[in-house]
Amino acid sequence: MRSLPATIIFDLDGTLVDTAPDLCAALNHALEQLGRPGVPAEDVRHMVGHGARRLLERGLAATGSMTAELVEAGVPHFLEFYGANIAVGSRPFDGVETALDALAAEGCTLAICTNKPVALSRALVTALGWDGRFAANLGFDSVPFPKPDAGHVLAAIAAAGGEPLSTVFVGDSITDVNAARAAGVPVVAVSFGFSDRPAAELGADKLIHHYDALLSALRDLA
């Protein structure tokens, strides 16, 4: 049996954790402050992946006109509410912790590369009781240019002490796949995340439908 990659880089929202309930609550809070109606959680699942500002842009566009001024006014409301309610409804996807335990037992180094602000990413990891699981946790504000820029992925690999040639990326969106491709790293996509298109159309090297298939997919790419 082939060995596992030395380093595995994970996206966070929609990949490791179903954060849609809390992101939806924060978005709807911000929209309410701007005099807008809320949007359903299922719609929010397809708006996530590019950071808070883009999420708010999409929420505004879905409920009326979207202007830069409205976005700037709404972002502080979103971030304050979300930071205070970051793990009310967010839960790891089924099988995530078992898979992370298995990878750690095999000696793999794990890291996070997310378009969340790094402070919020770290807060979510702590709230889930995951401190110590990841060798690095880089948000969109940890680098000059976030995903889909290759530098974000490469910075996460370097921060984890890894090398691109022995790394695989795991994500849920075209942003993740494009970032991994740009970095020259194989990519596994999950089918249950927040993608704005069918996961089979993302162009990942492997597609999994449950975390119990992750180790096999990673061995195939090692």
* Active-site residue list: 11
In angstroms, the CA 48 to CA 46 distance is 6
Q: What is the DSSP letter of 75?
A: H
SS3 of 34, please? coil
In angstroms, the CA 196 to CA 130 distance is 28
Nearest to 48 by CA among 59, 37, 34: 59
Sheet of 206-208, strands arranged across: 136-138, 109-113, 7-10, 167-171, 187-190, 206-208
